Amino acid sequence: MSAPVGIALVGMGWWGKKMLNVLGAAPGDIRVVRAVEPDVAGVQALCDAKGIPVSADYADALNDPAVEAVVLATPHSLHEAQIAAAVAAGKHVFCEKPLALTKAGAQKAVALCQGAGLVLGMGHERRWEPPIAAMLAAADSGALGRLHQIEANFSHDKFLSLDRDNWRLKADQAPAGGMTATGIHLLDLSVRLMGAAESVLCICEKLSSDLPNGDTVAAFVKFKGGGTSYVSASLANPFMSRFTVYGSKGWIDIRDKAHVESPDGWIVTSAMAGGPITTVEVAPAEPVKDNLVSFARAVRGAETYPITAAHLVDNIALLEAIFVSALSGKIETVA
C-alpha cells in the first residue's frame, strides 16, 4: 500500500474542524500533517491534541516537504491566490466551495492545476452522499429517461448567530444570500445532470433577518441542452435539504434528515413510469470524508476524481450570472 497523502489543512474554522474530525477515519488514504490558521491561539490546544503543527503563515505549508496537498477551508475571495501559490509550490489542491467567484477565476485555477499535472478537488461532498450517487448513476444509465427539471432547496439558520462582521456574511465573499453557502451545492448537481446553463433569473430578499446580503434566495435556471432547475436557499429558517430530479421515465426525491455537518441519513421517494411511488430510508454516511478520500486516491493515481474541469467552470459561470441577476432582478445570460 502507498503512504497516505500528507495534507495541510488551511483554515481551522467551523468547516476546517469538521474536516479534521472526519479524516481521523481515513488514516490509510489521507493524513493531516500541518494546519494553517491566522488565530493560532484559538486552535493550538486542538492541534496539540492531534499532534499537528500549526502556524499562521500559509508559506509554512507550501515550504513543508511533508505536505503533498493543501485543503483550503478559507474565505472565498482568497481561493484564487492560494491555489496559484499552491501550484507554484507543486502541491495538489482541494478547495472548499466555491472554487472562485468568477468564471475567469475558475478557468485560471483549472488551467493552473491541469498545466502542472496536479489534482484539483472540490468541496462538493453532496455527490458522495449515497442516495445522490445512486441518483447520478440512474440518470447516467438512462433509467430516468430524458431529464426535464430539477427542484432543490438547501436551507439552515446557522448563520443567524454569526457576528455581522463575519466573512461569510460580507458582500465581497458571499453575494446573493445563501447561494455560496448552500445553493452552490445544488447548482453543482444541476450542472452535473443537465450540463452548462444558458440563462438564470435570481431573486434575493431580506425577509426575516438583518443578514446584510439577504436571507432568502431563489434561482430559476435554463440549460443550453434544454431543461430547467429551480434552486432555493434560506439562511433564516430551520434546516431543510431536498433535491428532486424529474425525467421522462421516472423521478427521484432525496431529503436529508440532518445537515451534512452531522449526517443522519436520507429519505428517498421515487417512481418509475408505470410503477408505484416508493419511499425508503438510507443509513447515515460521511460524504465529507469520502470526498477527501477520493481526492487522495486521485493524487495517488488510484482513481479519477469525478468532478471534471468542465463541471467546475460551468458551475462558477452559473454562479457569477446569479450574482448579476440578484442585483438586476432580470434574466441574465450565463457567460
* pLDDT computed for residue 173 by the predictor: 87
162 and 58 in a common domain: no
- Among 124, 148, 166, the domain-final residue is 124
163 and 91 in a common domain: no
67 and 179 in a common domain: no
The confidence band for 1, taking pLDDT boundaries of 50, 70 and 90, is low
195 and 113 in a common domain: no
205 and 282 in a common domain: yes
In angstroms, rounded to a whole number, what is the distance separating the alpha carbons of residues 111 and 61? Answer: 22
Mean per-residue pLDDT of the chain: 96
130 CB neighbour count, 10 Å cutoff: 17
- Among 98, 124, 150, the domain-final residue is 124
The enclosing domain of 107 has a CATH number of 3.40.50.720
Structural domain range at position 98: 5-124
For residue 30, is pLDDT > 90?
yes
* pLDDT computed for residue 26 by the predictor: 82
Looking at the structure of the chain, the number of domains it has is 2
In angstroms, rounded to a whole number, what is the distance separating the alpha carbons of residues 317 and 115? Answer: 21
143 and 111 in a common domain: no
Pick from 227, 232, 267: which is nearest to 156 by CA?
232
161 and 51 in a common domain: no
The enclosing domain of 208 has a CATH number of 3.30.360.10
71-100 pLDDT per residue, tens: 999 999 999 999 999 999 999 999 999 999
For residue 207, is pLDDT > 70?
yes
Over range 19-35, report the average pLDDT.
Answer: 92
148 and 103 in a common domain: no
* pLDDT computed for residue 196 by the predictor: 98
Burial 250-263 (b: 16+ CB within 10 A, else e): bbbbbbbeeebeeb
149 and 97 in a common domain: no
307 and 189 in a common domain: yes
- Among 84, 101, 124, the domain-final residue is 124
226-256 pLDDT per residue, tens: 999 999 999 999 999 999 999 999 999 999 9
The confidence band for 42, taking pLDDT boundaries of 50, 70 and 90, is very high
258-302 pLDDT per residue, tens: 999 999 999 999 999 999 999 999 999 999 999 999 999 999 999
For residue 289, give every residue at least 6 positions away whose Cβ sits within 8 Å of its Cβ, in sequence order, or none. 22, 23, 25, 26
311 and 191 in a common domain: yes
149-162 pLDDT per residue, tens: 999 999 999 999 99
Type of residue at 220: F
Which of 15-29, 175-189, 231-245, 269-283 is the least confident region?
15-29
In angstroms, rounded to a whole number, what is the distance separating the alpha carbons of residues 249 and 329? Answer: 35
Please say whether the beta carbons of 298 and 108 come within 8 A: no
154 and 97 in a common domain: no
